[in-house]
Amino acid sequence: MTIHIGAKPGEIAETVLLPGDPMRAQWAAETFLSDPVCINRVRGMLGFTGFWRGNRVTIHGSGMGMPSLSIYANELIRDYGAKTLIRIGSAGSMQAHVGLRDIVLAMTASTLSTPSRGVFRELNYAPCADFGLLSAAHAAATARGIAAHVGGIYSSDVFYDERPDLNDQMTRHGVLAVEMEAAELYILAARHGARALAVLTVSDHLPSGAALPPEAREQGFADMVEIALEAAFA
């Protein structure tokens, strides 16, 4: 048991999927895992451990933003022995060709700052995904005939962004999508010798202003979870 996770020793698997929303963690566990058991409810951040094709998996909420994810990822890795951490979440497309429902596999994650900024000081560290996970996720998406885009994303500090000039430059430089957690996850995985990847579903299209209605999101999110699970155990 840690400050933020109430699971007992041995209750968390070495492979952890991290949706931001704890209710999405419950949905994913009940939909994709056999025999899921709730192993955490501290502060309403739900976590479940079960089995996928005989492989033990934990699906645990991470909250919104890098500071929240940093708390859970640190404790999962250092205190519970998590070795593979895959973020599953939504993202906003920054490119016209990256459409709603498409999957984005984040090879790199640019950011203005992360909770780890104090460690690096003047160094502009370049957070990146584990190549084995990235390659396996792309192969899984391709086998399913799912449009998956591989490239750089932007992990933002804020949801209500007021920097259209910065967004314009990121679009110009090919950044695929924006979300709020992956950069810190990649940094922590590198620091502690774990594997990390972000598998994201495009729920909003910034160039056009289009967005998925709630009832249309579930199928796209299902594809994302299945790709993440297949990548973890490839």
* Binding site members for phosphate: 20, 24, 43, 87-90
The residues facing 177 across adjacent strands are 93
Amino acid, single-letter form, for residue 110: S
How far CA 4 is from CA of 46, 68, 208, in Å, comes to 11, 10, 39
Q: How, if at all, do strands 55-60 and 84-93 pair?
A: unpaired
Respond yes or no: is residue 223 known to be catalytic: no
For residue 96, the 8-state DSSP code is: T
Cα three-residue angle 135-137-143, rounded to 5 degrees: 105
Contact 81, 8 (CB under 8 A): no
Q: For residue 233, give both structure tokens.
A: 């155990």
Binding site residues, as ranges? 4, 20, 24, 43, 87-90, 179-181, 203-204
Q: For residue 13, give both structure tokens.
A: 């698997």
Catalytic one among 21, 157, 161, 204? 204
Residues identified as active-site: 204
